[in-house]
Amino acid sequence: MPLRPTGFLRRHRAATSIAVGSLLLPALAACGSGDTGSASPSASTSGEVPAAKLTVLAAASLTDVFKQAGAAYEKEHPGTKVTFSFAGSQELAAQVKQGAPADALVTADTKTMDGLKDQTNDPTVIAKNRLVIATAPGNPHKIGSLKDLADTKIKVVLAAPEVPAGRYSKEVLDKQGIKVTPVSQEPNVRAALSKVELGEADAALVYKTDAEASKGKVDAVEIPDDQNAIASYPAATLKATKNTAAADAFVKWLSSAQAQQILQQAGFQQP
């Protein structure tokens, strides 16, 4: 049998190696796709954001709109579940300081958020709000301005001074030199609103969005811009979260066109 040239043998060996390698690659890939226990977190069908169960601590005044926003976010990110815990911002801050398991925080003022710098990443203001005077339907006491709240015959309810809504209320009343003696000071703005809804108070200083959400149960008396206060809502991920990527994605989404549309339809102002 005649000997083949050396070059032919080199080419034959190279072709054989390529063929074997081609057969091995799919098998190796199949092995790599198995559950090894060190796989990265599962991702949503979008392939961009890890699916996760998120717990978001949010100011009480966001109760209605965040339920809608959360449903929209879950629809856009299959596999992700967003659970909200609503309370006064000062109560939320206490929970964060005590190490409550949560992934993100949204407060109704920047002061509360600024006091949590050691526990949060950099916050982003996602919306703004303003105060109105909530009255019983039909405004039976004919309340037309902040000055009318000084009438001792009118039962006024305010949020407690340590609550953002309470601080804003004190700010606008002090600015106008109006002294109001409230019949009660509530732990959050929704509690103050409920007093008017139940007929236990004649008026309350609440956010415009709260009065909008209770339309039919209360009327709202507008407060002029030069007498009002603007509430800012910062959102931030918590440093202690175990779902950093998913929490960051949700906080970022709150500034998206879709989320902003939901917030503004509820009466919130642009950041």
pLDDT at 48: 73
- Short-list 148, 150, 98, 96, CA closest to 123: 96
Q: What is the pLDDT of residue 83?
A: 98
Question: Strands 124-135 and 219-222: what pairing?
Answer: antiparallel
> Mean per-residue pLDDT for 9-33?
40
> Binning pLDDT at 50, 70 and 90, where does residue 44 land?
very low
- The whole-number pLDDT of residue 22 equals 41
pLDDT band at residue 1 under the 50/70/90 scheme: very low
**pTM beyond cutoff 0.85:** no
2 has a pLDDT exceeding 80: no
C-alpha 248: how far from chain center: 11
In this predicted structure, the answer to whether residue 39 has a pLDDT above a threshold of 70 is no
Does pLDDT of 254 surpass 50? yes
Confidence of residue 25 (pLDDT cuts 50, 70, 90): very low
Going by pLDDT thresholds of 50, 70 and 90, the confidence category of residue 16 is very low
Half-sphere exposure of residue 161, counting CA atoms within 13 Å on the CB side? 7
Residue 121, pLDDT above cutoff 70: yes
Q: Averaged over 164-182, what is the pLDDT?
A: 96
Is it the case that residue 156 has pLDDT exceeding 90? yes
Query: Concatenated DSSP letters for 3-41?
Result: PPPHHHHHHHHHHHHHHHHHHHHHHHHHHHTS--S-PPP
- Average pLDDT of the segment spanning 63-82: 96
Structure tokens at 262: 């939901």
Spatial separation of the C-alpha atoms in residues 210 and 189, rounded to whole Å? 8
What confidence category does residue 49 fall into, taking pLDDT thresholds of 50, 70 and 90? Answer: confident
Average confidence score pLDDT of the chain: 87
Domains and CATH numbers, the chain: 53-128+232-265 (3.40.190.10), 129-230 (3.40.190.10)
Residues near 189 by beta carbon (within 8 Å), at least 6 away in sequence: 60, 61, 88, 108, 159, 163, 164, 165, 206, 207, 210
